Amino acid sequence: MTKTVLISGAGIAGPTLGYWLGAAGFETTLIEKAPSLRSGGYVIDFWGHGYDLAERMELLPAINHAGYRIKELCVVDDGGDKAAGFGTNVFHELTGGRYVTLPRSELSRLLYEKVAQSSEVLFGTEILGLDQDQGGVSVQLSRGGPRRFDLVIGADGLHSRVRELAFGPIRQFERQLGYTVAAFEAAGYRPRNEDVYVMYGQPGRMLGRVSLRDDRTLFLFVFAGTPEPFPQNREAQKALIRQRYADAKWEVPALLSELDRAEDLYFDRVSQIWMPNWSQGRIALVGDAAFCVSLLAGQGSALAMISAYVLAGEIAKAGEAHQPAFAAYEHLLRDFVRGKQEAARRFAGAFAPRTRWGLAFRNFVINAFAIPGLARWAIGHDITDRLALPQYSWRQTAGKAKRSSAQ
Ligand SMILES: Cc1cc2nc3c(=O)[nH]c(=O)nc-3n(C[C@H](O)[C@H](O)[C@H](O)COP(=O)(O)OP(=O)(O)OC[C@H]3O[C@@H](n4cnc5c(N)ncnc54)[C@H](O)[C@@H]3O)c2cc1C
């Protein structure tokens, strides 16, 4: 019987996997490169089977408490006047009210709290080397030296180190969608629009503003192009954003001043990961590490949770043999995930149109969503998860068995 599992990455997929493997009686070690859970970042829309799984993990009250019910998408012009928009009630109608917007870091924290008592946890730790044989995987950790596990799972996101070590460099699997994304939060910004997603767009660049609790505001920048070399340090990233938005209007000068002061900046390429297979011997990948769908799918967190749940369930079902478990995991999810990736690629051009015509057409479509029934018809297909979430039998109440926990 497989007993010990190393999970790399305490984002969304990692803690979810730890929780369900714990429910199946496995010993898990969760490592995270960052010194503590990542805070800040951006907000995510959360629904579908991710929401269903959160319910099974008894997290819904906390998620809804941490979340927001965005009521309107409002596109503004250079002067801040409304150019297009629609009420987002349609999302709540289509999901039966099971739809919430919340900071990714909050979802990550809530998932982590579910697993922190039952898993060994090591922050500030990453994998330096992996060497697998018939009996297990020898792992060199950056802290704590060599360890041996029955299985190693990479839940370490788009730039996964486990993927790089076990499958090869990211360039083999990354499909860039041609955009760069940045996000940061600021305190005390004015104006505020409660429960409204305010969006400003010019050809090839968009900006989103969301008012959060505690007088905080989230800003999201998405612009066309992924410069080579891609800026790695904070100041170079800020400089690129300033350059790309230098002549933009609306509130942009004020936003760029906030950017200057921002200490925490999320900045990355908008990319997907397409892999021919998600496992290699005793090593497998979940979430963005395996199949990043990108922000344009609006469902990467839910998919990260679904993949973690299915992988844990299949490992539990297969017992000693990990290969059938990995094969079943992939078989169950591959087509479903591919559908989400393809939908995101179709949506890419509409998110930050590159021409004035494209922008005008996008605004036309957004306004048309206000016509009763049209939004339901247009997005109903993509918003529904066409996958029956498998039922597995778990041995124990997850998250109950106490393990040693280290910081
Ligand atoms: C701007 C933006 C908007 C988005 N909007 C939505 C949305 O509306 N809805 C939605 O569902 N999804 C959305 N997503 C996608 C979603 O955030 C991701 O798909 C999701 O976070 C993936 O979870 P994950 O656990 O696989 O990876 P991550 O959340 O990226 O977590 C990976 C973890 O691994 C850690 N790590 C990295 N490298 C190492 C290493 N070498 N060793 C150890 N640990 C490591 C990281 O620090 C991190 O904690 C959005 C993404 C972006 C960028």
Which one of 301, 306, 337, 340 would you pick to mutate in the ligand 1 pocket, going by the greatest count of ligand atoms within 8 A of its CB? 301
Tell me which residue has tokens 């809804």: 64
The helix/strand/coil state of 375 is helix
- Asked whether the beta carbons of 110 and 50 are under 8 A apart, the reply is no
pLDDT tens digits, one per residue of 26-79: 999 999 999 999 887 899 999 999 999 999 999 999 999 999 999 999 999 999
Record the tokens describing residue 229, joined without a space. Answer: 């070399």
Give residue 398's pLDDT. 58
Atom 48 of ligand 1, nearest CA residue: 11
**Which residues of the chain carry a pLDDT beneath 50?**
402, 404-407
Secondary structure in 3-state letters for 68-128: ECCCEEEEECCCCCEEEEEECHHHHHHCCCCEEEEEHHHHHHHHHHHHCCCCEEEECCCEE
Record the tokens describing residue 2, joined without a space. Answer: 């497989």
Tell me which residue has tokens 């478990």: 325
Q: How far is Cα 339 from Cα 294, in angstroms, rounded to an integer?
A: 13
Q: Is 15 in the pocket of ligand 1 (CB under 6 A)?
A: no
Record the tokens describing residue 68, joined without a space. Answer: 């927001």
Which residues touch 251 (CB under 8 Å, ≥6 apart)?
Answer: 80, 191, 200, 209
pTM of the entire predicted model: 0.95
Q: Helix crossing, 300-318 with 13-23: angle to 10°?
A: 30
Q: Of 285, 337, 19, nearest to 157 (Cα)?
A: 285
CA of 110 to the centre of ligand 1 (A): 15
Q: Is 13 in the pocket of ligand 1 (CB under 6 A)?
A: yes
Query: How is 199-210 classified by DSSP, letter by letter?
Result: EEEETTEEEEEE
Residue 158 Cα: closest atom of ligand 1: 30
Q: How far is Cα 274 from Cα 253, in angstroms, rounded to an integer?
A: 38
Which conformational region is residue 129 in: left (phi greater than 0), alpha (psi within -120 to 50 degrees), or beta? beta
- The torsion defined by the Cα of 160, 166, 168 and 174, in degrees rounded to 10, comes to -40
CA of 284 to the centre of ligand 1 (A): 17
Q: Is 353 in the pocket of ligand 1 (CB under 6 A)?
A: no
Residue 37 Cα: closest atom of ligand 1: 49
Q: Is 11 in the pocket of ligand 1 (CB under 6 A)?
A: yes
CA of 304 to the centre of ligand 1 (A): 8
